[in-house]
Structure 1
Amino acid sequence: MPADRTRRVRANLALTLDGRYHGPGGPADAEAIVRYATTEVARDHLARIHEGATTALLGRRNAEGFLSYWPAVAADEGADPRDRAYARWLVEVEKVVLSRTLASSPWDRARVVDAPAADVVADLRASGGGDVLVNSSPSVIQDLLAADLVDRLYLLVCPEIAGGGARLFDDGLPGTAWTLVRHDVGDLGEMALVYDRARTAG
């Protein structure tokens, strides 16, 4: 099959109102986000992010964290069908894990790459078909935003101010324009937003 050089790169992350992907307690501090991650709007959002994606691009921390959670969901017949569909996709899909320290992959159907995210995306776009999903790996998303390589952003915005913690959209990113293509609002005030990068032709 010929290489698909138009593979889109999608990125997904949950953020607080002050733009943080974790609280002041560090990466494990998800108090301002976790209660919104299992709402109907959030689960419908999760069901959409992997449609048409054939590669998962992950940072080391998320690859290891996902391994401890999602395979059990894939095997759980009592799990929400949307969660289980995403879990099965993640278990079965090709996974590329970016790491400078891992000697071997923590997942089946995965390979570890020690290279800049932009270089890895260039290689992925030159081989294979389907979209590439960067799911909840903020450092990878930031690197790709810095290189203007993200084509679609899926954001779950949670109606809380964390007051501390790391931000996705930090100073130093290039200025870019985005088009809102979908938005859904949940009963708790959470918003599932989908933005496409607005690029000029030529």
Structure 2
Amino acid sequence: MGRIVIGTNTALDGVVQDPDGQEGTPGGGWFTDAMGADREAWAEHEMREAAEASALLLGGRSDAWFASRWLSREGAWADRLNAIPKYVVSSTLQQARWSNATVLAGDPVKEVAELRRTVDGDIVVYGSLRLARTLIANDLADELRLMVFPVVAGSGGRLLDEAALGGTRALRLLETRRIGGQLVLQTYAFAR
């Protein structure tokens, strides 16, 4: 049985939206601004996470975003990300844009619950704010990995927004680890 792991980069104030600033939101671009000298340590962590994952789970917009950035890259990290099985939850896509991907077009809750039953290991969610919120709200997420950047974005979508999640969620801290000099990885299990 698989585990759904939500892995996301976040500002100190919980903003996960528009990290590269390409959406044009007022708080966008915080990722690059706050990365500093920690890019290599961050990339090493991300590569290790991808190497250990059994599959990726994405929403339609994240599928397009990652495909536009990773399909043309080379190297071990790109090779892993492009080759790993991907599942894209979308009611509008006929075909995913990223390589080695299957579109899950039915009810997201049912589709992901079935995916958990059929895939062994970690199924990691990248980006995909709306999907991640749906998974949390429906008790399908098993673990949350927050890569916390030392910046306050001020505005933008937050993953753990009470209105989107429908109330309080209990979590249990599994690990806190420094990545590089300024980033902090916080890993939590969703309490059941």
Assess same fold via TM > 0.5: yes
Q: For each residue in 1:52-101, what CA deviation from the matched residue of structure 2 results, as whole angstroms up to 9, or x when unmatched?
A: 4222111111111111111233x24xxxxxxx33x222211221111222
The runs of at least 4 consecutive aligned structure 1 residues that moved more than 3 Å come to 23-30
In structure 1, which of residues 149, 170, 184 is the aligned counterpart of residue 161 of structure 2? Answer: 170
- 1:127 equivalent to 2:127? Answer no
- 1:154 is displaced (CA, Å) by 1.2
| Greater fraction helix | 2
Q: 1:48 to 1:151 in 2, by over 3 A?
A: farther
Q: 1:28 to 1:192 in 2, by over 3 A?
A: farther
Q: Distance in 2 between matches of 1:98 and 1:186?
A: 30
In structure 1, which of residues 95, 99, 110 is the aligned counterpart of residue 90 of structure 2? Answer: 99
Q: Which runs of 5+ in 2 are unaligned?
A: none
Q: Distance in 1 between matches of 2:84 and 2:32?
A: 25
Which SS does the other structure have where 1:61 is aligned? helix
- 1:20 equivalent to 2:15? Answer yes
- 1:178 is displaced (CA, Å) by 2.0
Q: Distance in 1 between matches of 2:47 and 2:63?
A: 19
Which SS does the other structure have where 1:101 is aligned? coil
Partner of 2:2: 7
Q: Distance in 2 between matches of 1:141 and 1:27?
A: 19
Q: What residue identity is the alignment partner of 2:174?
A: V
Q: Identity of paired residues, percent? A: 30
Q: What residue identity is the alignment partner of 1:16?
A: A
Q: Which runs of 5+ in 1 are unaligned?
A: 1-5, 77-83
Q: 1:44 to 1:194 in 2, by over 3 A?
A: farther
Equivalenced residues, count: 185
- 1:113 is displaced (CA, Å) by 2.1
- 1:111-126 aligned within 5 A: 111-126=102-117
Partner of 2:190: 197
Q: 1:179 to 1:48 in 2, by over 3 A?
A: farther
Between 188-197 and 158-167, report the one with greater CA deviation. 188-197
What is the aligned-residue RMSD (CA, Å)?
Answer: 2.4
- 1:116-155 aligned within 5 A: 116-155=107-146
Between 117-126 and 9-18, report the one with greater CA deviation. 117-126
Partner of 1:49: 49
Output the TM-score relative to the length of structure 1: 0.79
Between 188-197 and 24-33, report the one with greater CA deviation. 24-33
Partner of 2:67: 67
- 1:148 is displaced (CA, Å) by 1.4
